[in-house]
């Protein structure tokens, strides 16, 4: 099976879906001539022309609104935000227009569109550009929120997002674009809302998504050296959330640690813990613990940024705690 980057996987998904359906078009800052700020749209302008690969001014609210209008008249826009931090400027279109259109028009208008772009912290991009938005977006009824952590999932889920008749927020990882993984040549689509058990173990469940999948897998590898076997459950989609997969794993291991990139309060992990306590109460042998970003704006200083981010040692410490190995 070919090994390609996350960036190439996204590019393949866009290309294949644009070939498959001529209603699909890509719009955003620098997507066309510059081939994408992160080169996700490389070659698309050449292949599909400027009608379907559209450079915009720096007007997030404006082009997000154009996308909503296009979706209302039957096109299938893919709106790229250079990062989800910039999408804050467009959030009225995402939350108040796209998410509510089907509901408020009494079912007259589907909203078959994708908002996509990198999410979360990279390295030393400071407080305003180092934020994980999935818990904000997942709060909104009407949106779907997809957070792939591997090239395989990125491709299969982006294809599913483009084919979905509802607005999908597709959160990529800036630090993931260069990561590699196996992606088959033949076409596949991954259903939105299905978690994936990335590693199987029976001592503890690590529940995670997005960039933290790699962190959880590395933690699991290190813990395996101590004979501790982790289920690593990649949610892949945080809305809708695969509650059944969570419950199945936790009922097996009796312990869980949730690892996420964002902040603690009202984070995705808070929702996971709620599901776990409701559905697995009699199966829990320890309180569920969470690993997340420190409750501060992301520091610019390298040492402080490292201290603020969730990482492998913090994950291992939490796992050891739920296993009662440390006090």
For residue 175, give Cα distances in angstroms to 179, 235, 266, 293.
8, 19, 24, 16
The answer to whether residue 253 forms part of the interface with other proteins (CB under 8 A) is: yes
DSSP summary character for residue 301: S
The whole-angstrom separation of Cα 135 and Cα 268 is 5
Interface residue with other proteins among 47, 244, 274, 285 (CB under 8 A) is: 285
Taking the complex as a whole, how short is the minimal distance between the CB of residue 321 and other proteins, in angstroms? 9
Annotate 15-58 with DSSP letters as a single string. Answer: HHHHHH-TTEEEEETTSSTT--TTSTTTTHHHHH-TTTEEE--S
Cβ neighbours of 42 (radius 10 Å) = 16
DSSP summary character for residue 261: S
The set of residues, in sequence order, having a beta carbon less than 8 Å from that of 191 and lying 6+ positions away, is 160
> Which of the ranges 35-43, 188-196, 277-285, 308-316 carries the binding residues for other proteins, by CB under 8 A?
277-285
Of 23 and 199, which CB lies nearer to other proteins in the complex structure?
A: 199
> Which of the ranges 25-33, 94-102, 223-231, 264-272 carries the binding residues for other proteins, by CB under 8 A?
223-231
Based on the residue annotation, tell me whether 129 is a catalytic residue of this protein: yes
The answer to whether residue 312 forms part of the interface with other proteins (CB under 8 A) is: no
Interface residue with other proteins among 51, 108, 227, 265 (CB under 8 A) is: 227
Site string for other proteins, 176-215 (x = CB under 8 A): --------------------------xxx-----------
| Catalytic residue from among 30, 129, 248, 283 | 129
Taking the complex as a whole, how short is the minimal distance between the CB of residue 324 and other proteins, in angstroms? 5
Burial (CB count <10 Å: 0-12, 13-18, 19+), residue 127:
middle
Taking the complex as a whole, how short is the minimal distance between the CB of residue 103 and other proteins, in angstroms? 37
The answer to whether residue 325 forms part of the interface with other proteins (CB under 8 A) is: yes
The whole-angstrom separation of Cα 69 and Cα 111 is 9
| Catalytic residue from among 8, 17, 60, 261 | 60
The set of residues, in sequence order, having a beta carbon less than 8 Å from that of 321 and lying 6+ positions away, is 286, 289
Of 240 and 287, which CB lies nearer to other proteins in the complex structure?
A: 287
Residues labelled catalytic: 60, 129
Residues at the contact surface with other proteins, assessed by CB under 8 A:
202-204, 225-229, 251-255, 281-286, 323-325, 327
């Amino acid at each position: 099976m070919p090994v390609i980057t996350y960036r190439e996987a996204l590019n393949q998904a866009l290309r294949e879906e644009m070939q498959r359906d001529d209603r699909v078009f890509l719009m955003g800052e620098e997507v066309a001539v510059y081939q994408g700020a992160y080169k996700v749209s490389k070659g698309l302008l050449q292949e599909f022309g400027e009608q379907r690969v559209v450079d915009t001014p720096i007007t997030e609210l404006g082009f997000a609104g154009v996308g909503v209008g296009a979706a209302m008249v039957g096109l299938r826009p893919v709106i790229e935000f250079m990062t989800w931090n910039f999408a804050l400027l467009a959030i009225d279109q995402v939350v108040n227009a796209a998410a509510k259109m089907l509901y408020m028009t009494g079912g007259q208008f589907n909203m078959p569109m994708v908002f996509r772009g990198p999410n979360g912290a990279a390295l030393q991009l400071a407080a305003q550009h180092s934020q994980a938005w999935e818990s904000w977006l997942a709060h909104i009824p009407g949106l779907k929120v997809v957070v792939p952590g591997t090239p395989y999932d990125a491709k299969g889920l982006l294809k599913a997002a483009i084919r979905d008749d509802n607005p999908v927020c597709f959160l990529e990882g800036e630090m993931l674009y260069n990561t590699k993984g196996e992606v088959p040549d033949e076409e596949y689509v991954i259903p939105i809302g299905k978690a994936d058990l990335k590693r199987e173990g029976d001592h503890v469940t690590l529940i995670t998504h997005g960039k933290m999948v790699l962190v959880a897998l590395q933690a699991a590898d290190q813990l395996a050296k101590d004979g501790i076997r982790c289920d690593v459950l990649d949610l892949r989609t945080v809305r809708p959330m695969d509650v059944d997969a969570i419950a199945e794993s936790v009922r097996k291991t009796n312990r869980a640690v949730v690892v996420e990139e964002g902040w603690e309060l009202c984070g995705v992990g808070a929702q996971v813990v709620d599901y776990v306590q409701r559905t697995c109460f009699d199966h829990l042998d320890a309180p569920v613990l969470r690993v997340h970003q420190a409750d501060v704006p992301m520091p610019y200083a390298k040492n402080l940024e490292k201290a603020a981010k969730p990482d492998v040692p913090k994950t291992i410490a939490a796992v050891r705690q739920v296993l009662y190995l440390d006090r």
